[in-house]
Amino acid sequence: MKHLVTGFIAAAILATGAHAQQNIVVGHALSPSSHYGVGAQAFIDTLTELSGGTFTGEQAPAGQLGGERDMIEGLQIGSLDLVVTSTGPLGNFVPEVFALDLPFLFRDYDHARATLDGEIGQELLAKIGENNLVGLAWSENGFRHVTNSQRAVRTPEDLAGLKLRTMENKVHMTAFSGMGASPTPMAFPELFTALQQGVVDGQENPVTVITASKFWEVQKHVSLTGHVYSPAVVLASPVLFDGLSDEQKGWFMEASKASAAATRAEVNRLEEAGVALLRENGMEVITDIDKAPFAALAEASYSVYTDQYGTEMVDRIKAVK
Ligand code: EAX
């Protein structure tokens, strides 16, 4: 009898617990004022509002909880609730997502956003859901450009021999080998120091990340190669998400959409203002890049994806208006 009573009390406490406030930790690689920080905060604010304060949240910015690969693993085991991440390491978990990392595939921001907001984006979020992760919404990092400490890069010949940090992504690594650089995969939290100490000569990231990370302190030249579009995605832990009610899941979905919208707005702003900021901080910005020779050399990387899945998805993405 005593055990039974204790059991009832424990159940009552648990039931109350379900209605108690729950704090959601949102991890990301960049500063709180970055496009990811703005998006993480929009998620937290929207979720708090929709839930009437049942949920609160806080950012774990700047790779405090590890690199993007570590954070994705954290979601899978439930040590982390939510992450805003690039797709950099995601293909290692969900190989279908490599389709989005192919170089010179997206024509411009409108093309990329239309693809991710449409049928293809929904299909890939569902694939993410089959791999012990929850894909809530496509957000954005931006078109990536090459920076380095050695010389002005205008042609693939200028990349020859440059030690270039890439994300831990075999599509990107193959593309940069093809274009003549020596790709060195590395987690983002290690990058600034690696550039500072000359472990690598250069790296590639969108204007958003170059400005948020003040890479002008360690890099002299930036070439607006726009060689690949870098999606971001709002991911949740299935350990958390599967335990939510349908109403709560709806709030998480809404909050993720608000997060992506806020991040995209910040990307738009920085695409306008960011290049001037790079110049103001002493970088040489090379804008007159002929992309065709880079694209021709990067094309070998398509086989990383198409050898496994064929060309159908690539054709479908190209056909999105
Ligand atoms: O997601 O690792 C990278 O270069 C990413 O672009 C950056 O951390 C933002």
The enclosing domain of 204 has a CATH number of 3.40.190.170
Residue pair 271/55 in contact (Cβ under 8 Å)? The answer is no
Quick one: pLDDT band at residue 13, thresholds 50, 70, 90? very low
Share above pLDDT 90 across residues of the chain, in percent, rounded to a whole number: 93
Q: Is 194 in the pocket of ligand 1 (CB under 6 A)?
A: no
Q: Is 139 in the pocket of ligand 1 (CB under 6 A)?
A: no
Model pLDDT for residues 237-275, shown as the tens digit of each residue: 999 999 999 999 999 999 999 999 999 999 999 998 999
Question: Could you give the number of structural domains in the chain?
Answer: 1
Nearest CA to 159 out of 171, 151, 170 is that of 151
How many whole angstroms separate alpha carbon 70 and alpha carbon 20? 29
Give the distance (Å) from ligand 1 centre to CA of residue 188: 6
Probe target for ligand 1 pocket from 100, 141, 215, with the most ligand atoms within 8 Å of CB: 141
pTM for this entry: 0.94
At 4, list the tokens: 């039974």
Give the distance (Å) from ligand 1 centre to CA of residue 172: 13
Dihedrals phi, psi of 163, to nearest 5 degrees: -80, 110
Provide the residue range defining the domain that includes 267. 2-319
How many whole angstroms separate alpha carbon 182 and alpha carbon 164? 6
- Residue 203's region, left for phi above 0, alpha for psi from -120 to 50, else beta, is beta
At 91, list the tokens: 């293909």
Model pLDDT for residues 163-172, shown as the tens digit of each residue: 999 999 999 9
Cβ neighbours, 10 Å, residue 160:
12
Residue found under tokens 């007159």: 288
Q: Is residue 15's pLDDT more than 80?
A: no
